[in-house]
Chains A and B, each alone.
Chain A
Amino acid sequence: MSVLVMKNVSVTLGGTSILDDVSLHVGQGEFVSILGPSGAGKSTIFRLLTGAVEHDSGQITCNGQPLTAKQQSFAFMPQRDALMPWRRIIDNLTLGLEVQGISREEARARVTPLLADFGLEDFARHYPAQLSGGMRQRAALLRTVVQDRPVLLLDEPFGALDALTRTQMQAWFEKRWRAARWTTLLVTHDVREAVALSDRIFVLSRRPAHVLTEVQVPGPRPRLGRRITPEAHALEAQVLDILLNQTGKAL
């Protein structure tokens, strides 16, 4: 059953059509990516889901219910990590729980056991500016998953990292995801990342964005940290071709 369904959704901002008839769905425990060129409207999809912008037409449902502000179905990780520079890492991690009205102690008690898995156990008392880019990104991810929402929305979580750190973080994240099986919607412009991490990929056109094609990614996990398979390689080439030619015919 699908957790999140967007059906024929269109968004216009300041007279500009950003999303044009976008339909997609995410199943329970599934890892789905939205892949598209920069400026396509990928982040706009997340702003729509988190209530920052409104859609003109179409339906969005979560667990069969139309989206409402009170529902809180999503834990969102913005494109830049948005860590508060004045809060220690531990206090950044508990932000979402504090907003839910959970006491600081209780929130810390929930976050602390997860620090080790995210490689942050020695950095809980540090300020964000004292952390490397990769660590900040892991902190932002942990801040997202501790909110314990039905769906994770990750906006280019590895986009700002250097190539080496990005590769390490992707492999680390795949491991964490395999252990937890969060229902995940990932936004990326990186074809290799989408193919490596996803169960399915929705390829978006340039603005105004519509779905060019939906790609199933077969293949066993883990896929990262080992040699890339010829099948994965062929799939990457196909998806890249779709992006470059802006046509959905290839698959």
Chain B
Amino acid sequence: MQSHAPRRSGRGLTRGIPAVLSVVSAFLVWELYVHLSGISPLMLPAPSRVLEQIVLNRALLWDNTLPTLKATCAGFALSLTVAFVLSVALDFMPRLRRALFPIFVVSQTLPLVAIAPLVVLWFGFDLTPKVLLVALVTFFPMLVALVDGYSATDTDIESLMRSMGATRGQIFRSARFPSALPYFFAGLRISITYAVVAAIFAEYVGARAGLGIVILNAKNSFRPDLVLAAVVISSALTLGLFALTALIQKLALRWREVAGT
């Protein structure tokens, strides 16, 4: 049968249409349900009301978005640096990998609910505990992606370089690191979706400002519309960061885009 499936090469706007349609219709159903059922806005506010709250409270939301964004970015920068440095160390010292990897795995089993209050207790109410918690949550996917990526290097390419007289460092720079990049970006995309949530959670546990504090206060004063307004902002932050990593990936892995044309 003739297939009318959209071609993979279909680009840009047309490709986004299904996603936009499904999101818009979900919000429409929600809006209609709230109006038709007559449910109290204290239980479930309609999307239009959430939007209204965003506009009304834009100054408050803006002031509290900045600390969250700052914690997210600082934590992510720390985690990226640590993950990269560790991955290189582990790649050059396999014995170190066997010694340290269990510790990293255990670090991922710690429940954030228990760890976050302790970290806040130790480091206080300012930026440090948030940065640490964001880093704790995000570094592991990137570390695993890098370590796996290095070992996925084509052995033929490595033997070729060795036949050319390359040093271990040259092989790492010219073969192992570039091989790991696609894996790294897969890990980065997972990490970035955790980052904002981790920052908000850390603020929720103890902070002076931030979206987590907005959510905490709104919840305590029975304002689900304001809770959801902050949630929308936090989702937008995550989506924005996700789009940014996608863009960087596209630039860094241009050879994958060009290939196959």
Contact = CB atoms under 8 A, between A and B. Distances in A.
B261 interface: yes
Nearest to A96: B164
A95 B159 contact: no
Contacts of A70: 165
Contacts of A147: 164
Contacts of B160: 76, 78, 82
Contacts of B259: 85, 127-130
A176 interface: no
- By Cβ-Cβ distance, the 10 closest A-B pairs, closest first, are A129-B259, A50-B163, A76-B163, A82-B156, A99-B164, A99-B166, A96-B164, A82-B160, A86-B178, A86-B255
A80 interface: yes
User: Which of the listed residues B165, B255, B259, B260 has the most CB atoms from chain A within 10 Å of its own CB?
Assistant: B165
Contacts of A82: 154, 156-157, 159-160
A127 B255 CA distance: 7
Contacts of B178: 84, 86-87
Interface of B: 154, 156-157, 159-166, 170, 174-175, 178, 181, 253, 255, 258-261
A2 to B, nearest CB: 21
A179 interface: no
A116 interface: no
Contacts of B156: 78-80, 82
A76 B158 CA distance: 12
Interface of A is mostly: loop
The bracket for how many chain A residues form the interface is 20 to 34
Interface of A: 47, 50-52, 69-70, 72, 74-76, 78-80, 82, 84-87, 95-96, 98-100, 127-130, 147
Contact of A84 (B157, B163, B165): B157
A50 B159 contact: yes
Nearest to A128: B259
Contacts of B253: 86
Nearest to B253: A86
A86 B174 CA distance: 10
B161 A95 contact: yes
Given A47-B159, A78-B160, A99-B170, A85 B165 contact: no
